[in-house]
Amino acid sequence: MTLAQPKFTWPARNASAEEVLRWGVAEFGEGLAICTSFQATGSVILDIAAGIAGDAVRVFSIDTGRLSEETYELIAAVRRRYGISVELVAPDSEELSSMLTLHGPNLFYELPAKRRLCCEIRKVRPLKRRLSTLDAWVTGLRRDQASNRETVENVDVDEEHGGIVKLCPLASWSDAEVFEYAARHDVPLHALYARGYRSIGCQPCTRPVADGESSRAGRWWWENEEDKECGMHFSAAGRLRREFDVMLDQVLPARRPYSVK
Ligand code: SF4
């Protein structure tokens, strides 16, 4: 996708990760931030960006409130290693309280629509709020992660988030290249990789995978494969979408009597 009226000279499609990040830092300055959940791709991006911008690199993570202890330990290690602050973006407390009161703390195991609701309140809405303050963001999306990511560009316009610019500097990298870079540069990695995890998210929704299983097998393993879309890229139609919308409507109005806004 290209802008109708380009404001920038885009990096080449085959630009290196460092070239993409250098371009982003020069073009957007403080309007650019890296979003990471501290999987290996995010850790590698952070290492490259720190080499470019030092402690001026801006990093944020969505703290869903259900992350594993190992994730918090890695955040502490990253702060020490790079001398940077990691901004933790929390869910809206009233939306969270409303959802937990209506559906209980472990609603995600009950229905796909409830799992989507939890992802919406804990991840998607906090991300949208944070991105609404930025001109550009950096993510760890890669073309080889899933069939619906095969067209990921290293730089694109993010129509889902207000038309800001989205940088995916590792778009063309393989899993092996990510881990090879991490080993060569002694990048701090999530401790759960050494315990058989391949994809790391919230603690109750992530498990290790066996040899031969896909990384997706470790996420929301109790759901059918077709229901397993990442909450941040929710475009499902039909029954699931309708169930989800009804539940979201129930959660959001429920907070209004208590809102001071
Ligand atoms: S991954 Fe699980 S705990 Fe985390 S936000 Fe989604 S449903 Fe909730």
CA distance 129 to 220: 25
Domain count of the fold of the chain: 1
Q: Which residues line ligand 1 (CB under 6 A)?
A: 64, 66, 108, 115, 118-119, 122-123, 201-202, 204-205, 231
Would you call 122 exposed, middle or buried from its count of C-beta atoms within 10 A (0-12, 13-18, 19+)?
A: buried
In ligand 1, the atom with minimum distance to the C-alpha of 231 is: 6
- Sign of the CA dihedral 90, 93, 99, 105? positive
**pTM exceeds cut of 0.85:** yes
Catalytic residue flag (residue 118): no
For atom 1 of ligand 1, the residue with the nearest CA is 202
List the domain range (segments joined by +) for residue 131.
Answer: 17-256
Please report whether residue 57 resides in a domain: yes
Stretch 238-256: mean pLDDT: 77
Please report whether residue 35 resides in a domain: yes
pLDDT, tens digit, 9 for 90 and up, residues 132-189: 999 999 999 998 877 777 788 899 999 999 999 999 999 999 999 999 999 999 999 9
Please report whether residue 230 resides in a domain: yes
Please report whether residue 204 resides in a domain: yes
Tokens 């060569």, residue located: 184
pLDDT of 74 strictly over 90:
yes
Report, in angstroms and rounded to the nearest whole number, the Rg of the chain calculated over CA atoms: 19
CA distance 115 to 104: 12
CA distance 154 to 14: 8
Per-residue model confidence (pLDDT) at position 195: 95
| 125 Cβ contact list (under 8 Å, min separation 6) | 91, 92, 95
pLDDT, tens digit, 9 for 90 and up, residues 5-61: 557 788 998 999 999 999 999 999 999 999 999 999 999 999 999 999 998 999 999
pLDDT of 3 strictly over 50:
no
Q: Length of the chain, please?
A: 261
Tokens 């404001």, residue located: 7
CATH number for position 122: 3.40.50.620
3-state DSSP helix/strand/coil percent for the chain, to nearest 5? 50, 10, 40
